[in-house]
A and B are shown apart, each in its own frame.
Chain A
């Protein structure tokens, strides 16, 4: 998949998981993995970018006598998801047209071959 596209998609997936509730690194990796494959080292830059663009805020909580970083989705984060869905309506529309066109052609070549 195109890196730029994949990166954008991963950002939305992380935000979507965070919409369920605040979460931390380990949990995010396993939750996002249910939607799209992600590793720890790919998650890190995504979180960093989301934080610097103001889509998530970060706070630390003491857990078993150590600190754990939690990520919280902000209003800007919610808006990111809404924008994504809006934008993708158009893309999905184009996708369906491309898909049905390809199917039609596939069907017509098949019938030609049969004749």
Chain B
């Protein structure tokens, strides 16, 4: 090994040390190698005489860490939980500070493992295992988070490492998994043997991935809540306050309710066989590439509401107060009701089987390629303008505006379309 190669790999291996300290160490070894070469050793002999780089790193780090770190060993402690008289059927976790990870079972005998990281935080928990209920609670507050430094060449940052709890579930069918977190993140991945899952956090993020369950409830306040590849066979209730709520690639066999206050709400590439209720106060709400067999009810106060590439077999009802409402490339087999107070309404390529009601107070209404099979349709606004284009021409138009201009095609069919504005203009075409 050349001197340069040796110093480079030593530098890489010592990336956790502060820059000036690492520099001192590199200078020390560079000097010794140069002096060895001066005493007629070859470069590679000089490097080899220092011994294995692993041993050198161990000597240096072993010496550094014992002096400077609160948590000298960044290792975890694995606590095995064996099933008692009754197999474990419920798991309850309450932890205000640690990041919590839930993973599928690794043991085949009905026991489970809890992995505490770093090892010192193990003693802060009370673990009880009675009547098939495993309860894991943090009983001591977190004193100080261990720090980890990361080196990015030009600069270095020191990050507080959160304590981490990883729970490998038992293989047995579980009735309920309850997680009450606060500041830490909750990450639940690959859990398929739990009938009911209830997750709660405050400022940490909640991530649920590849999960199958009967009942799902997840609640977050400031943190985000995200679901991906989740299958819920019963009822699902999800909510956040200021965090974002996002649902992707998921299937809800029963009804699904999603609420946010300030956070955005996204429902993407998913199916809902029951009724779908989505509500946000000031966040934006979007539904994209989804299929819903039941009714869809989506509401937003100030946020924008958008529906894209989706179809609904039941009734569709979308309401906003001051947010804009837009629908692109959607199909609905039931009744459709769209309402907005101040927001504008924009529809592109929307197909509706039955009743269609659209109303704004002061928002404008604009639509393209609108198709109504049975009707009747009622498009009304107080002060907004209405302009639109229908896909077919077999409609019986009843169009009037009290103060605005009206431009509408002749009636040619049975599907009644009533269009009214008080002070806005109306312009329609087929």
Range class of the A interface residue count: 10 to 19
How far apart sit A24 and B34, CA to CA, in the bound complex (Å)? 12
A86 CA to B31 CA, complexed, in Å: 36
Write out the residue numbers on chain A whose beta carbons fall within 8 Å of the beta carbon of B63: 45
Binds B, one of A35-43, A75-83, A89-97: A35-43
Quote the shortest CB–CB distance from B211 to chain A (angstroms): 49
Q: Contacts of B35 on A, CB cut-off 8 Å? A: 24-27, 68
Q: Report whether A69 and B28 are in contact in the complex, using a CB–CB cutoff of 8 Å.
A: yes
The smallest beta-carbon distance between A65 and chain B, in angstroms, is: 11
A59 contacts the other chain (Cβ, under 8 Å)?
A: no
Cβ-based interface call for A105 (8 A) = no
Tell me, yes or no, whether B59 is within 8 Å of chain A by CB: yes
A26-B36, A64-B38 given; A41·B31 CB < 8 A: no
Chain A residues near B25 (CB-CB < 8 A): 44
Q: Taking the nearest CB of chain A, how far is it from the CB of B144, in angstroms? A: 24
Q: A40-B50, A41-B51, A64-B38 are in contact. Are A25 and B59 (CB under 8 A)?
A: no
Q: How far is the CB of A6 from chain B (nearest CB, A)?
A: 13
Q: In the complex, A22 Cα to B410 Cα: how many Å?
A: 108
Q: Which residues between 38 and 57 of chain A lie within 8 Å of chain B, taking CB atoms?
A: 39-42, 44-45, 48
- How many angstroms from the CA of A45 to the CA of B39 in the assembled complex? 24
Q: A26-B31, A68-B31 are in contact. Are A41 and B50 (CB under 8 A)?
A: yes
B60/A41 in contact, CB under 8 A = yes
Using known A-B contacts A41-B59, A42-B59, A45-B63, determine if residue A69 contacts B51 with beta carbons closer than 8 Å: no
Which A residues lie within 8 Å of B27 (CB)? 69
Contact code string B197-220 (vs A, CB < 8 Å = 1, else 0): 000000000000000000000000
Docked Cα-Cα span, A59 to B281, in Å, equals: 68
**What's the least CB distance linking B174 to chain A, in Å?**
48
Q: Chain A contact residues: over half helix, strand or loop, or mixed?
A: helix
Q: Which of A41, A64, A67, A69 contacts B56 (CB 8 A)?
A: A41
B21 nearest in chain A by CB position: A48
Q: Which residue of B lies closest to A28 (CB)?
A: B32
Give Cα distance in the complex from A38 to B92, angstroms.
Answer: 54
Q: How far is the CA of A66 from the CA of B31 in the complex (A)?
A: 9
> Does chain B have a CB within 8 A of A13?
no
* Cβ of A29 under 8 Å from chain B: yes
B residues contacting the other copy or chain, number (CB 8 A): 19
Cβ A29 vs Cβ B51 within 8 A: no
Residue numbers in B under 8 Å from A68 (CB-CB): 31, 35
Contact (A40, B29) CB under 8 Å given A45-B59, A45-B63 = yes
- Please tell me if B154 contacts chain A, counting CB pairs below 8 Å: no
The residues of A that contact B28 with a CB separation of less than 8 Å are: 25, 44, 69
- Chain A residues, CB < 8 A from B32: 25-26, 29, 40
Return chain B residues, CB-CB under 8 Å to A41: 50-51, 55-56, 59-60
Residue of A nearest to B34 (CB): A66
Across-interface contacts of B24 in A (CB, < 8 A): 48
**Which B residues are CB-close (under 8 A) to A45?**
59-60, 63
B residues 1-34 near A (Cβ < 8 Å) are 24-25, 27-29, 31-32, 34
Nearest CB on A from B50, distance (A): 5
Knowing A26-B36, A44-B25, A44-B28 are in contact, say whether A39-B51 is a contact too (CB < 8 A).
yes
Which residues of B are found within 8 Å of A67, using beta-carbon distances?
31
**Known contacts being A39-B51, A41-B55, A45-B60, is A24 close to B31, with CB within 8 Å?**
yes
Report the bound CA distance from A92 to B41 in whole Å.
41
A39 to B36 CA separation, bound complex (whole angstroms): 14
The residue in chain B whose Cβ has the minimal distance to the Cβ of A7 is B63
With known contacts A41-B50, A64-B38, A25–B60 Cβ distance under 8 A? no
Known: A39-B51, A41-B50, A44-B25. A25 touches B38 (CB 8 A): no
A29 to B50 CA separation, bound complex (whole angstroms): 11
- From residue 267 to 324 of chain B, which have CB atoms closer than 8 A to chain A? none
Q: What is the CA–CA distance of A44 and B60 in the complex, to the nearest angstrom?
A: 8
Distance in Å from the Cβ of A94 to the closest Cβ of chain B?
Answer: 29
Most chain B CB neighbours (cut-off 10 Å) among A41, A66, A68: A41
A-B contact pairs, 25 of them (CB 8 A): A25-B31, A25-B35, A26-B31, A26-B32, A26-B35, A29-B32, A39-B50, A39-B51, A39-B59, A40-B51, A40-B56, A41-B50, A41-B55, A41-B56, A41-B59, A44-B25, A44-B28, A44-B59, A44-B60, A45-B59, A45-B60, A66-B31, A68-B31, A69-B27, A69-B28
Q: Besides A27-B35, A40-B29, A44-B28, 20 other CB < 8 A contacts? A: A25-B28, A25-B31, A25-B32, A25-B35, A26-B32, A26-B36, A26-B39, A39-B50, A41-B51, A41-B59, A45-B59, A45-B60, A45-B63, A48-B24, A64-B34, A64-B38, A66-B31, A68-B31, A68-B35, A69-B27
Which residues does A use to contact B, with CB under 8 Å?
Answer: 24-27, 29, 39-42, 44-45, 48, 64, 66-69
8 shortest interchain CB distances as A-B pairs:
A26-B35, A41-B59, A45-B63, A41-B56, A25-B32, A26-B32, A40-B32, A40-B50
